[in-house]
Amino acid sequence: HVQLEESGGGSVQSGGSLRLACVQSADASMFYYMAWFRQYPGQEREGVAAIVGTRTAVYADSVKGRFTIIKDSPGKTLYLQMDTLQPEDSAMYYCAAHQFSMTRFQPLESAYDYWGQGTQVNVSS
């Protein structure tokens, strides 16, 4: 049974930083795609950042230049470094993982196999 566990959420003022972490319980090389999504109340989840393979990173336009997605060398932990946070970044953040490489898989849009429970980020102005 694969588990993804997020941590690192919290409250911060506008312009501040947070670092989210996601620890996955499977074999380190199991997932070809790993990503962070966020969800605003009453809305669907939206892709924030993803790593394809070992190092190719993809970002949503809204976070480019402010957020950095990092997967540690063993592949067990996924991080999201969030800098210059804005109130509109306030949301529940979820870690997601997908096992196999697929030609038409859209890292920030497609359905992922596994999801964490989420960690809340609140940014005050």
What pLDDT digit, counting tens, does each position of 49-69 carry?
999 988 899 999 999 999 999
Reading the block at residue 94, the tokens are: 């979820």
Q: Report how far residue 65's alpha carbon sits from residue 24's, in angstroms, rounded to the nearest whole number.
A: 26
Nearest-angstrom CA–CA distance, 41 and 114: 21
Distance CA 113, CA 88 (A): 27
Q: In what order do the strands lie in the sheet with 4-7?
A: 4-7, 18-24, 77-82, 67-71
Q: Is the pLDDT of residue 7 over 80?
A: yes
At residue 17 the predicted structure's pLDDT band, cuts being 50, 70 and 90, is very high
Question: Residue 17, exposed/middle/buried by CB under 10 A (0-12, 13-18, 19+)?
Answer: exposed
Alpha-carbon dihedral of residues 62, 88, 49, 80, nearest 10 degrees?
130
pLDDT in tens, 19-53: 999 999 988 788 999 999 999 999 999 999 999 98
